[in-house]
Amino acid sequence: MTTLIAVDGHSLNLGLQKVAQDRNKKHGQSRSRFRIDHGELADFLTRLSGPSAEGEDDYSLNFYIDSEKSGSNSQVMGRVAKYFSEKGYRFLAATDGNSYFFHHNEVVNKKLLCEGREDRYPHPTSYDFQKRIMGKVVTFNPATNEDGQTKAEEVRLEFGSRVLDQFYRLRREPFLEMLEDHGYDIIRCRPSHYSGKAKSIDVTICLDASWDLADDDTLVLLSDDPIYSDLTARLRDSDINVTLVTFDTPGSEELRNVVLKHGGKVVLLDDYLNGLELVFEDDEDDAPQEAEIVLQEV
pTM, 2 dp: 0.70
**Range 204-236 burial, b when 16+ CB lie within 10 A, else e:** bbbebbeeebeeebbbbbbbbbebbbebbbebb
CATH of domain 2-66+189-295: 3.40.50
Q: What backbone phi and psi angles, to 5 degrees, belong to 23?
A: -70, -40
Residue 218: its pLDDT value, please?
A: 94
As a whole number, mean pLDDT of residues 91-100 equals 82
CATH number belonging to domain 76-161: 2.40.50.140
- In this prediction, residues 280-288 reach a mean pLDDT of 39
Q: What integer pLDDT is reported at residue 284 of this predicted model? A: 38
Q: Answer whether residue 253 shows pLDDT above 90.
A: yes
Task: Kindly report which listed range (25-39, 171-185, 187-201) carries the lowest average pLDDT score.
Answer: 187-201
Count helices and strands in the chain by DSSP H and E runs: 7, 14
With 90 as the cut, is the pLDDT of residue 181 above it? yes
Confirm if 16 and 34 have CB atoms less than 8 A apart: yes
Among 32, 131, 140, smallest CA distance to 79 is for 140
Distances in whole angstroms, Cα of residue 5 to Cα of each of 215, 266, 277: 16, 14, 29
**So where are the chain's domains?**
2-66+189-295, 76-161
pLDDT in tens, 103-148: 878 888 877 877 666 666 677 777 777 778 888 888 888 888 777 7
Q: What are phi and psi of 24, to 5 degrees?
A: -65, -40
